[in-house]
Each structure stands twice: as structure tokens, then as C-alpha cells.
Amino acid sequence: MNDTVYFDPACDDDERRRRLFEGQLFVYAPRPSSLAFVEFTRKLVEDAFAPLDPRTAQYHMPVDEYAQLLGKLKPSFIHHPESKRHIQRMLNEFGCDLDTTYFDVPKLRSSTSDEYLTSGIAYAWHPHRDTWYSAPPCQINWWFPVYEITSDNAMAFHPRYFKEGVANTSAGYNYYLWNQQFRGAQVASITKSDPRPLPKPTQPVEMNPQIRLVVPPGSLIMFSGAQLHSSVPNTSGVTRFSIDFRLVNSEDARAQRGAPNVDAQCTGTTMRDYLRGSDLSHVPEEIIKMYDDETAQQGGMLYQPTTA
Ligand SMILES: [Fe+2]
């Protein structure tokens, strides 16, 4: 099968999702809504690091202090009401139906240069699929950089594995248990080797050939949550900041459409986390049930998702 990168195609969102589920990638030039989100994010990031330049602050701060700063900055971005509004505007401008499109709160990522901080709050991602972390097969990821990126601080896709399974440890991952144990402030205190049992490959992964898409700030990369992807080891000399969020279309979820599951064995589901584009309501209970398993109730504990 070929690997296609579509640039600013004319197709609608239904067609786009269908192609994403086949493993294709989509790139869009910056639009007013994504640029506005970038501008909002830069202000938050720059205020947090002031008077330092966020891209080079890593050279002027002890790593513990840096991680603590990110430990405050990232949640404030994630839960900022304005962040959700920016997503809603983007969904609209990029052709999604706000009544059937649900989104998870956006994440602000940072990738520091030269292995300054690659664990905890700024984890340098080994090759993984989001479906190893309880994402449903219909999840689609939107990713865009906040500042200019280069090939040596981008993200990488490994599309040959879209249809080919990779032996991995996802069987040991339960979404609810994970959130109980690791969600929250303590992640900011991890600055050396990362003790969290993140699902990862247990076989050698052929990292090359790989695709790195170097796009300007506010330019959007869309990919299936089942796509194998990783952080490029950052040797650029500057910290990369990027935004990403995940989408689920309720009609896809209901019809159980999505990317093929070639190797994910995790339990639990992220389905409770997505909020509807139009009114921030949760995915209907009957759909959640289709993706959930008995682990949601285990030990009398019921997972509490992020609220609108
Ligand atoms: Fe990911």
C-alpha cells in the first residue's frame, strides 16, 4: 500500500476520516483559527518563562525548576476555558460537524534539546500508538507546532507498521488504573529515568524509513491514533513546543468504524474524556458501553473523566 500525505485537500471530513483510518496523513496550511490558538499559547508559554525565551530557557534553568514550571504551565493550558473555545473554532473552520465531533482537552507538549529533560512532564516519546493507551480505533489526532520546527525537532511517523503488528506491553495497561496512579502533580518531579510503565514495543522497531513533516506554526498534521509515531530526538538546540488534541466522531464510534487494531491489548477506554464540539456534553453512555469493559468498576472505583 502507498503512504500518501494529503496537503490542503478539498475533501470533506467524512472522506478525510475514512482516509485517515487507512493510514494516510493530512497536512493543512495555517488558518485563522489555528493561528489564533498558536498566538494564545505563545502568550501563556512566554508569560510562564519570562523574562527567558521559552525556546532556550532550558539553558538557563536547573532542570528541577524547569520541570516544576512545566508542571504548572501545562495543566493551566489544558484546562483553560479559552483552549476549548479555540478547538471549537478550529473544528468549525476545518470542516467538522460540531454535533458529532467530540474532542479531548488539548495537550501542550515540549521537547527539550540535547536530552536536557526527556522524562515525566516532557517525556520523549518512544514509538507508540495511542491505541496502546486505550484510545478507540476511530480516534484521530490533530497536531501543530507553536514555533518553527526543523527536521531535528519534529515528530516522526512509522507508517509501515500501520498494518503490521508490533509486539508491545499494552496488555498491562489499564486506563483507569493509570489515571489513578499517575495523573497529577507528581509527574513534574520525574526528571531522570521515567518509572511509569508506559506501553512500549518489546521487539526492535525499524525506525527508518520514517516520515517527518516540517510545517510552520499553526499548520495542522492529522493522523489516526493507530499510527505508530515517536518524538524525534531533539538535537536542534531549541525546545520544541506543540499542541495536540484527539477527536472522535460519534457516528464512527457507533458504527465501530476506525483503523484496524493490529496489536493493542490494553483495557479501559478514553471514550469518557471526549466533549462534544457543540455543547461540551460527553459521548452518549450507550456508545461508551460499546468500548468499555469490566475494569471501569473494578474495586468499586469508577473512573472520573475530565469535566467540561
Ligand atoms: Fe501519541
Phi, psi values for residue 179, rounded to 5° = -65, -35
User: Across the strands, what pairs with 174?
Assistant: 267
Residue located via cell numbers 471526549: 274
Produce one character per residue of 216-236: b if its CB has 16 or more CB atoms within 10 Å, e if not. Answer: ebbbbbbbbbbbbbbbbebeb
CA 108 to ligand 1 centroid distance, Å: 12
Å from CA of 267 to ligand 1 middle: 17
Q: What φ, ψ does residue 136 adopt, rounded to 5°?
A: -70, 160
Tell me what the mean pLDDT of segment 65-90 comes to. 96
Instruction: Give the Å distance between the CA of 51 and the centre of ligand 1.
Output: 31
The span from the CA of 56 to the CA of 70, in Å, is 14
pLDDT tens-digit profile of 104-131?
999 999 999 998 888 777 777 799 999 9
Tell me, what's the pLDDT at 301? 59
Say how many Å lie between the CA of residue 192 and the centre of ligand 1.
Answer: 21
133 CA from centroid of ligand 1 (Å): 9
**Gap from CA of 143 to ligand 1 centroid (Å):** 10
Percentage of the chain beyond pLDDT 70 is 95
Q: How far is the CA of 168 from the centre of ligand 1 (A)?
A: 15
- CA 201 to ligand 1 center in whole angstroms: 14
CA of 231 to the centre of ligand 1 (A): 9
Residue in the structure block whose three cell numbers are 506491553: 169
Q: How far is the CA of 130 from the centre of ligand 1 (A)?
A: 5
User: What is the DSSP annotation of 65-109?
Assistant: HHHHHHHHHHHHHHT-HHHHHHHHHHHHHTT--TTTEEEPPPEEE
Residues 211-226, mean pLDDT to the nearest whole number: 98
Residue 234, pLDDT score: 95
Distance (angstroms) between ligand 1 centre and the Cα of 258 equals 17
Residue 52's CB is within 10 A of a number of other CB atoms, namely: 15
Rounded to the nearest angstrom, the distance between the alpha carbon of 225 and the centre of ligand 1 is 7
Which residues lie across from 276 on neighbouring strands?
102
Return mean pLDDT, the chain. Answer: 93
Residues 240-274: tens digit of each pLDDT: 999 999 999 999 999 999 999 999 999 999 999 99
Q: Identify the pLDDT of residue 289.
A: 95
How buried is residue 186: exposed, middle or buried, by Cβ count under 10 Å (0-12/13-18/19+)? exposed
User: Which pLDDT score, from 0 to 100, does residue 242 have?
Assistant: 97
How remote is the CA of residue 119 from the centroid of ligand 1, in Å? 15
Angle between helices 32-49 and 63-78 (to 10 degrees): 140
Q: How far apart are CA 239 and CA 153, in angstroms?
A: 8
pLDDT per position as a tens digit, 7-57: 999 999 999 999 999 999 999 999 999 999 999 999 999 999 999 999 999
Neighbours of 204 (CB within 10 A): 8
Ligand 1 centroid–CA 34 distance in Å is 20
Would you place residue 306 in the very low, low, confident or very high pLDDT band (cuts 50, 70, 90)? low
pLDDT of residue 161: 97
Length of the chain (residues): 308
* Bridge partner residues of 110 (DSSP): 241
Q: Running DSSP on this structure, what letter comes out for residue 148?
A: -
Model pLDDT, residue 307: 56
Q: For strand 5-7 and strand 25-28, is the pairing parallel, antiparallel, or unpaired?
A: parallel
Measured in Å, residue 229 CA sits from the centre of ligand 1 at 7
Find all residues with CB under 8 Å of 210, minimum gap 6, and list them.
Answer: 156, 157, 158
pTM: 0.94
Determine the distance separating the centroid of ligand 1 and the alpha carbon of 145, expressed in angstroms: 15
For residue 150, what is the DSSP state?
A: -
